[in-house]
């Protein structure tokens, strides 16, 4: 293959890089730089807003590890996944959640696809637009997963087109979602979370000492009940000194979008997606309260993760029906999403009112529209 053109302007793309032994693909323009770990789940390892030098993606304390260079001390299915989890953004399918048995096969934490190398092909490479396609076939489940990332000149919008295909000759279940983790220094107590609305449920997953939300509740966004009955505003982020950790799910959202804004840095991250496909927004919250393995209270981050289903397809409270997608033999499903970096006013900011499928961010009335970039 011929060497790629080495541009220093407009859109740029290259798959001629490695990091800690893993093949990476770098996609960038004047406003964004996106680094994808092709050899490890096609994870989006960093998504950097260049004008403010802000990486939205959270990083674990150990960062990127090459799984070929060490052996875990045990075959613990949850630990093997966390051992090489660098943070950032993973595509999960056809499983998502804690270790499980899928059609007779033992599957570890979340999805086997996130620890596999993916193939990659550069589709477009011009100053005006770049695009790369990534794909993989899972080994214990019968799925092909494909995603295309594209970026246009002068745009702070990363477009993601994904497809999952059941290659079995029988019906199978699928849990499909975007495992997106945001962290400091972008994330902080000065930040704000806005979504389109909906109901909040807090699954009963045990009474951890660091949990702040009451389990087994259903309420309207943005307020939830704390363990002591006090109201908790989920639009705000506690400081790390709060030492709390929670997990909630938002459902019945009118539109599929969320926006995290940091007025102190003057920048925000928004994600827009088809809510008819990703009906549940998993909200993982670790504000210094993740005690024991693997966090040891070192981390400050949130996961804002649109999914087709609840974890492992579990039913909704008071229901026995699985929330997993039932896919026919040979069936494919597709989704188009956008990740947007936008400017935030450093004073007078009152929140984001809406994010459109086209990537337009509108602030609460009186502030105008968010300018991308």
Write the pLDDT tens digit of every residue in 25-68.
Answer: 999 999 999 999 999 999 999 999 999 999 999 999 999 999 88
Does an H or E element contain 164, and which?
strand 157-166
Residue 90 confidence (pLDDT): 98
Do residues 54 and 9 lie in contact, with contact meaning Cβ atoms separated by under 8 Å?
Answer: no
Residue 5 confidence (pLDDT): 78
Residue 59 confidence (pLDDT): 97
Least confident of 77-81, 123-127, 293-297, 367-371: 367-371
* Average pLDDT of span 340-364: 94
Residue 368 Cα distances to 32, 192, 226, 360, angstroms: 23, 17, 34, 11
CA distance 7 to 26: 13
Residue 206 confidence (pLDDT): 55
Residue 318 confidence (pLDDT): 87
Residue 321 Cα distances to 41, 88, 316, angstroms: 30, 31, 8
CA distance 138 to 285: 29
Chain centre distance of CA 154: 24
Q: At residue 70, does pLDDT exceed 90?
A: no
Q: At residue 1, does pLDDT exceed 60?
A: no
* Average pLDDT of span 111-133: 96
Do residues 145 and 174 lie in contact, with contact meaning Cβ atoms separated by under 8 Å?
Answer: no
Residue 256 Cα distances to 244, 250, 252, 281, 348, angstroms: 27, 11, 10, 9, 26
Residue 196 confidence (pLDDT): 97
Give this prediction's pTM: 0.95
The full set of domains in the chain, from first to last, is 12-370 (2.70.98.10)
Neighbours of 333 (CB within 10 A): 16
Residue 269 falls in which region: left (phi positive, over 0), alpha (psi -120 to 50) or beta: beta
Report the percentage of the chain scoring pLDDT > 90: 89
Q: At residue 366, does pLDDT exceed 80?
A: no
CA distance 239 to 219: 24
Q: At residue 207, does pLDDT exceed 90?
A: no
Residue from 160, 112, 158 nearest 136 by CA: 112
* Average pLDDT of span 249-256: 98
Write the pLDDT tens digit of every residue in 72-114.
Answer: 899 999 999 999 999 999 999 999 999 999 999 999 999 999 9
């Amino acid at each position: 293959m011929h060497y790629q053109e080495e541009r220093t302007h407009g859109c740029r793309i290259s798959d001629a890089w490695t990091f800690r032994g893993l093949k990476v693909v770098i996609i960038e323009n004047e406003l964004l730089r996106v680094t994808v770990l092709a050899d490890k789940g096609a994870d989006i390892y960093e998504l950097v807003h260049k004008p403010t030098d802000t990486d939205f993606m959270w990083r674990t304390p150990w960062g990127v590890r090459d799984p070929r260079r060490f052996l875990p001390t045990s075959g613990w299915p949850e630990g093997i996944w966390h051992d090489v989890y660098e943070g950032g953004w993973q595509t999960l399918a056809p499983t998502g959640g804690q270790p499980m048995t899928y059609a007779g096969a033992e599957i570890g934490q979340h999805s086997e696809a996130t620890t596999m190398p993916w193939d990659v092909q550069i589709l477009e490479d011009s100053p005006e637009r770049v695009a790369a396609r990534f794909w993989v076939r899972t080994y214990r489940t019968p799925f092909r997963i494909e995603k295309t990332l594209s970026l246009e000149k002068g745009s702070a919008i990363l477009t993601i087109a994904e497809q999952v295909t059941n290659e079995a000759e029988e019906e199978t279940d699928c849990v499909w979602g975007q495992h997106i983790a945001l962290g400091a220094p972008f994330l902080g107590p000065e930040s704000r979370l806005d979504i389109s609305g909906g109901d909040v449920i807090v699954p009963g997953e045990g009474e951890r000492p660091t949990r702040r939300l009451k389990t087994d509740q259903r309420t309207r966004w943005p307020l939830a009940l704390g363990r002591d009955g006090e109201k908790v505003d989920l639009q705000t982020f506690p400081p790390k000194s709060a030492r709390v950790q929670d997990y909630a799910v938002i459902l019945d959202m009118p539109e599929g979008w969320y926006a995290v804004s940091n007025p102190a840095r003057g920048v925000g991250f928004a994600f827009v997606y088809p809510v008819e496909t990703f009906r549940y927004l998993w909200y993982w919250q670790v504000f210094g309260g993740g005690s024991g393995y693997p966090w040891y209270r070192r981390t400050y981050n949130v996961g804002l993760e649109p999914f087709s289903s609840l974890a492992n397809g579990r039913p909704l409270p008071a229901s026995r029906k699985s929330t997993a997608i039932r896919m026919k033999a040979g069936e494919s499903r597709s989704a188009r999403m956008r990740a947007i970096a936008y400017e935030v006013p450093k004073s007078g900011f009152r929140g984001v009112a809406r994010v459109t499928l086209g990537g337009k961010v509108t602030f609460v009335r009186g502030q105008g529209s968010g300018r991308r970039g």
